[in-house]
Structure 1
């Protein structure tokens, strides 16, 4: 951490979250000064990015920041997020703030209570300034909806930001937030992180409890997690998000304080298995694999051995498993809306397709998909007998034209569904393994790409440690800032 005090508002918005937290705690900068700096900066860069939505009234936010200052003056320090602006993802329920889920059906929805992940951030002193934009119900790795419009890439405003945590990633990359939460079902923390040159961590399934939830057992595809411009910031937010809750019976009962500890560690001799495009199975835009393989050389520089790895598991079977379980999950969550003709008309076509696919499933279909998922997990365990980590690109193509809803082809290969182009991320999701997207660099057009690093079961800390070591060696976030920040 840099302990120097901020000199300008630009220093405040550019600071790592942990530095900003320390400045506030030591009263080197007031919470009002912090809030003013961020709100002024958001006013300058959030158009056309459109990352932060439902922005609350400035006067109210400054009043809340003043209350945080008064608490400090009385010796009351809530926690490391004391006075720090945050904007939870729009899929996350936040008390008193619109939580639309990107759907016109819930345009005016204002929850009375926070979801657990938001409540834990508030308890640490965060001030919620609004929300970050998401695609409708988080469906599709491209952040657009009919309520707020599209969120645009931080490095090229003609390109997609990715999704579904696209608003989160862009808000981080453009310094509108110092650290932020998101969620991930099909790469929703990883793809936008890679496409905006930040870090996105999908923790082990159960690490961050999903509360409230109407189903506590079957719906185990998605989870909440942190994003950041540095791994220590991201890990610190995970220490707030994580931890067992009895209302989530499958949540992990391990002390979340482990993620607040220093991350430095020696990686001499660590072995990384490079899965690449699964031996040609996945379509990849030209340049993606080459850029990621160059990034793997930096892992070699910190002491790791990188080897080509492969699995004999039939990948088409894995895709069928994914599509079945996703249909099942979405039909369960959106089925009631679909059955109401008026509300069905407000669902985007992809949402209707998911529900219809789920309604056509038999119990045996779901059982067989769950068996296939179990077999995939065992196949990865076999790989982990030889490797400490596995690696893949975070996407199969570079950020595409934001006017497209989704790419119909990749490298000349037709994509038969709205999400087939993100097939590269389903492996870690289905296995419930910890996985981080780290910046891999930029192509000749200046477009970012990320690299997924997957860890062993519940080895979240180990994944964060290797990502931190990689970041110390590469410093991509600091080396390549969005051009609008230099204007």
Structure 2
């Protein structure tokens, strides 16, 4: 079958269940694709070909059962995988092999998914550019001279180039959304607790969440239904099962449009692409209103919470790279008064946004303030003539949303004149993940940008 690796996951699943293809055949198509393009993209950093083939053969010997039966998946290299190297992008763990799967891996395997390998990430997921000292940089499949984003950049690049149909990732400051935007795929930052995670260091920390990535919204929903659901190991896990009707209309939906989230600098190329997004939803019958949104309190709150987490998670500074070390050092400087201020700022913002959600169903905004940048650059230092003070600042359009405890999806929105992908961000009130995905699917179906694959 031609381009089997570029079918949707839902279509692959249909073919597997009808026995029109085998799990072995599907896996081999993806392994062939990895061999063909991964040396140039550097998205899959540890391959489990033999182990995956054993699993595929076993699945072919039984009737399809789980919802992901026979579908290859790759796991972010921050996620522990039993018997499979997990480096966290750190030289200190270059040969580390965990003994136990993380929860999200357990759930994917239980649903019949086949682990094909691990995807690249910056050291400990620090930053929205996927590069580390162990494996080097992941390159954007649409332009190999550009960044794939991060920190789930390996996942996004692997999806975009047909190496896998589904991938897991994680998001503290945009790490599911930014690479999805850069690589023309779909990523969802779920409401915290929708996809539970188990932590032995910061069990109550809600800024960082695991979540799904795919090439289409329907594929993402297929995966989300597997990885979501209550688990007692997470103290804020959502108890209700996730359900969504992907064919619901967005007609009469109230959409708030913010082209810059309250004055953030935006690259003109990104601004030009995302400016078309409101018109798409208007043509679908939504009521779109441009809003002046002030989320500036999110900046200090995010930076304090992030620094506190890094100081807690990484007590040994000697083994850290510069970005991770800087965050941990900032955390060591915090006082109780700083944490109290962050809590007050976030609480005030939450209540203001509660009133906002009474007026609007979703918020529409750019995912990232820039299109994919040169892969050699460590980060974006200037946007539209505005100099940025540090490596975090160019990610504000994503990390301000993280503070809201809200679900946010990145969906392909078009391309710059150079052919670089740009995504649009759809944000909903806390726990309205299904509504966010309904709008994302309607936008995806109306535009079709996600069907444009890279010319590798």
TM-score (norm 1): 0.91
- 1:449-468 aligned at under 5 Å gives the runs 449-468=422-441
Partner of 2:177: 190
Partner of 1:164: 151
1:293 aligns with 2:275: yes
Question: Structure 1 residues 85 and 278 mapped into 2: Cα distance closer, same or farther (>3 Å)?
Answer: closer
1:137 aligns with 2:124: yes
Question: How far apart, in 2, do the equivalents of 1:187 and 1:13 lie?
Answer: 27
Question: How far apart, in 1, do the equivalents of 2:89 and 2:330 lie?
Answer: 22
Partner of 2:219: 233
Partner of 1:341: none
| Displacement over 6 Å in runs of 4+ | none
1:325 corresponds, among 305, 320, 324, to 305
Q: Deviations over 1:367-390 (max 9, x none)?
A: 110110111111212222221111
Kept after mapping to 1: 8 A contact 2:180/2:423: yes
Question: How far apart, in 2, do the equivalents of 1:408 and 1:178 lie?
Answer: 33
Question: Structure 1 residues 278 and 35 mapped into 2: Cα distance closer, same or farther (>3 Å)?
Answer: closer
Q: Deviations over 1:237-277 (max 9, x none)?
A: 01111001111111110013x14xx4111221111111221
1:155 aligns with 2:142: yes
Structure 1 portions without partners, runs of 5+: 1-6, 339-343
Structure number with higher strand proportion: 2
Structure 2 portions without partners, runs of 5+: none
Partner of 1:483: 455
* CA apart distance, 1:32: 1.0
Partner of 1:3: none
* CA apart distance, 1:215: 2.3
Partner of 2:380: 407
Question: Structure 1 residues 26 and 330 mapped into 2: Cα distance closer, same or farther (>3 Å)?
Answer: same
1:362 corresponds, among 335, 340, 346, to 335
- 1:203-222 aligned at under 5 Å gives the runs 203-217=190-204, 219-222=205-208
Question: Structure 1 residues 137 and 111 mapped into 2: Cα distance closer, same or farther (>3 Å)?
Answer: same
Question: How far apart, in 2, do the equivalents of 1:179 and 1:452 lie?
Answer: 20
Question: How far apart, in 1, do the equivalents of 2:283 and 2:203 lie?
Answer: 43
Question: How far apart, in 1, do the equivalents of 2:200 and 2:253 lie?
Answer: 38
2:37 corresponds, among 30, 45, 52, to 45
Partner of 1:263: 246
Question: Structure 1 residues 324 and 63 mapped into 2: Cα distance closer, same or farther (>3 Å)?
Answer: same
1:82 corresponds, among 69, 72, 79, to 69
Partner of 2:396: 423
Question: How far apart, in 2, do the equivalents of 1:204 and 1:312 lie?
Answer: 21
Question: How far apart, in 2, do the equivalents of 1:312 and 1:47 lie?
Answer: 44
Kept after mapping to 2: 8 A contact 1:268/1:302: yes
Question: How far apart, in 2, do the equivalents of 1:14 and 1:311 lie?
Answer: 39
* CA apart distance, 1:185: 0.5
Question: How far apart, in 1, do the equivalents of 2:320 and 2:253 lie?
Answer: 47
Partner of 2:53: 62
RMSD value, Cα: 1.3
Kept after mapping to 1: 8 A contact 2:214/2:220: yes
* CA apart distance, 1:212: 4.2
Kept after mapping to 2: 8 A contact 1:295/1:441: no
Question: How far apart, in 2, do the equivalents of 1:372 and 1:289 lie?
Answer: 29
SS in 2 for 1:287: helix
2:257 corresponds, among 274, 281, 306, to 274
* CA apart distance, 1:213: 3.5
* CA apart distance, 1:311: 3.0
Kept after mapping to 1: 8 A contact 2:72/2:166: no
* CA apart distance, 1:214: 2.7
Kept after mapping to 1: 8 A contact 2:299/2:400: no
Question: How far apart, in 2, do the equivalents of 1:319 and 1:202 lie?
Answer: 18
Partner of 1:392: 365
Kept after mapping to 2: 8 A contact 1:198/1:477: yes
Kept after mapping to 2: 8 A contact 1:78/1:123: no
Question: How far apart, in 1, do the equivalents of 2:352 and 2:252 lie?
Answer: 23
Partner of 1:25: 17
Kept after mapping to 2: 8 A contact 1:116/1:212: no
Kept after mapping to 2: 8 A contact 1:89/1:134: yes
Question: How far apart, in 1, do the equivalents of 2:52 and 2:324 lie?
Answer: 35
SS in 1 for 2:400: helix
Partner of 1:4: none
Question: How far apart, in 2, do the equivalents of 1:264 and 1:102 lie?
Answer: 40
Q: Deviations over 1:181-232 (max 9, x none)?
A: 1111000011110111111101101111112443222x21110111111111
Kept after mapping to 1: 8 A contact 2:74/2:166: no
